[in-house]
Amino acid sequence: MVQIVPCTGVFGAGSPSRQVARGGHHDNLTKAAFESLGSENELTVFKVVVEILLFLLPLALGARYGPFGLIGASAVSVFIMVEVLRLQPGTAPIAAIFIILSVISATAAMTAAGGMDWLVRMAAKALRRHPKQIPIIGPLLVWLFTVMSGTGNITFALIPILYEVSYSAKIRPERVLATANAVCQLALMASPVAAVSYVFIQMTESQGNSLGKTLAVTVPASLIATVLMSLVMTRYGKNLEDDPEYQRRLAAGEVEPPPELADDVEAEPLPPRAAWSAYIFVGGVIVGCILGFFEKLRPTYSVAVIDDSGSLDAPVAHMVERHVSMSTMIPITMFAVVGLIMIICKVKTPKVIGQPIVGTGLIAALLLLATPVMAGTILNAHMESIKSFVGSAIGVSVLLFAVILFVLAALIQSQVASLTILIPASVIAGLGVGPMTGMLGAASGNNLLASMGGLGQACIMTDKTGSTKQGSILINGSFTVPMLLGVVFSIAVGMVVQMFVF
């Protein structure tokens, strides 16, 4: 009998030698795949590290060299990201830039016409009538003027008055000056003409937000926070009679004893139509508020909307009526204010351009062309990861939004820029507009290094008693405590109020 034996030779399918060859080849492929995957992971990690460095280095340079250092370094980072790393560049918030330029132009025109000085003198009269209440009335006036003007720079004009009245009333000037410094940043969230308000509204309008809803939260939150902060600060620091530094300066003749407060202080006459410019500016603010509160007062226009939802036919275009957005109406309104002030009050262009606030506005606009574009470039490359991170953080606690916003504002030194970075990621992560609005006070973190800023230095140099200090490590000076109090109080009140608004 012939036994048929399966072929197991070299060329047989079941050949052991062939199986070994196959196994070795498979192992080699697996090893190569893992090596390739490992190299790709290493490359990805290296690329992410480079991107993080390109984001952090401009912030560090900005802290050292100021806003223009941040702007220039951001541009260098974006160039490297786009040209070398081949990332998709971020988009500049053009609408926000127009809002900033229009509001700053209107404020500069009013200042050039003498309207700002007229407002400050009205405030001075109110303060001198009630000197003992300066720790409360002073910050409240700063809040009111900031809300009306849309800029904290108006506080520069109030600092000498706040110091004069508080010192004459023998009240520690630090309590008033440091609080005013914090309030002028916190109040921007409640201003209907502040750039930060409209930038936030523009980015959340598609989520059902509006000017009326935002102000319904930020006005009571910042106002109540201002009062509470002022009350706490009335007990902050030693009284002047117990302050050894003040007593030393008084004994050495470095500071005069508290003078009697005069009712009328001689001042240079204002331009003949200074009050008119203030009325026109406030009128523009009121018009902007009315248009924001009542959408139906804004004009409408037709937009073609393409509907291709699952239809086998060709997409159909439907005409939809939409109201002109506030991000368009505010620049129109405020530039109109500029024109009216210049015509009615007879102000020349060189005088408007020469106002210090124009430089401040230019820096703010340029920051929006730099920092948000840099952050947007990274967001485009890692949107899913950032969405997951922000979502995880919010999942742990909604209040972590406030922490992230505070840190960003402190690093970037810009409320507008920090919001343009964080809000899109938070919206994608699913955070509601209500909680975001309630926590807008955290953007006052840009005041963490207030002693390095112009306003902080103005407070320190104006206070001859030595009570307002810079601090040995910048954040342990006079301005940190009121700033933190304002942030905590505004978030606490805002989170409660937003539940009734949204």
If you write DSSP's letter for every residue of 31-85 in order, what string do you get? Answer: HHHHHHHHHHHHHHHHHHHHHHHHHHHHHHHHHHH-HHHHHHHHHHHHHHHHHTS
CA distances in angstroms from 12 to 17, 399, 462, listed in the order given: 9, 70, 98
What number is the average pLDDT over the span 164-190? 91
Q: Which of the four pLDDT bands, split at 50, 70 and 90, describes residue 319?
A: confident
pLDDT at 22: 45
Residue 206 has pLDDT above 90, yes or no: no
Nearest to 446 by CA among 483, 474, 492: 483
Highest mean pLDDT among 85-99, 114-128, 234-248: 234-248
pLDDT band at 417 (very low <50, low <70, confident <90, very high): confident
Task: Tell me what the pLDDT averaged over the chain comes to.
Answer: 80
Are 93 and 82 contacting, i.e. CB atoms less than 8 angstroms apart? Answer: no
What pLDDT is attached to residue 41? 64
Element (H, E) at 318: strand 316-323
The sign one gets for the Cα dihedral 192, 209, 430, 435 is: positive
Least confident interval from 193-202, 216-225, 300-309: 300-309
Q: What is the pLDDT of residue 161?
A: 80
Range with lowest mean pLDDT among 13-17, 139-143, 360-364, 485-489? 13-17
Task: Please compute the mean of the pLDDT values over residues 393-406 and round it to a whole number.
Answer: 83
Q: How many CB atoms lie within 10 A of CB 161?
A: 21
CA atoms within 13 A on the CB side of 330: 31
Tokens 């609080």, located at residue: 179
Instruction: Give yes or no for residue 267 having a pLDDT over 70.
Output: no
CB 437 within 8 A of CB 498: yes
Whether 107 and 281 have beta carbons less than 8 Å apart is answered as: yes
* 438 closest CA partner among 374, 373, 386, 488: 488
pLDDT tens string 96-149 = 678 778 878 888 899 899 988 888 788 777 777 878 888 999 999 899 888 877
In whole angstroms, give the CA distance from residue 438 to residue 493. 8
Place of tokens 């036994």: 3
Distance CA 329, CA 411 (A): 32
pLDDT value at 169 more than 60: yes
Centroid of chain to Cα 70: 15
Q: Which residue has the tokens 């192992």?
A: 27
- Tokens 């030393």 -> residue: 248
* Res. 37 pLDDT band, cuts 50 70 90: very low
Specify the higher pLDDT residue, 24 or 411. 411
Give tens-digit pLDDT for 249-265.
Answer: 888 888 888 877 655 55
Please state, for a pLDDT cut of 70, what percent of the chain lies above it.
83
The reported pLDDT for the residue numbered 4 is 43
Task: Say if residue 389's pLDDT is above 80.
Answer: no
Least Cα distance to 486 among 152, 148, 214, 172 occurs for 152
> Helix, strand or coil for residue 300?
strand
pLDDT in tens, 442-493: 999 888 866 556 677 778 888 889 898 877 665 777 889 999 999 999 999 9
Give residues with Cβ within 8 angstroms of 187, minimum separation 6: 142, 143, 146, 147, 152, 222, 226
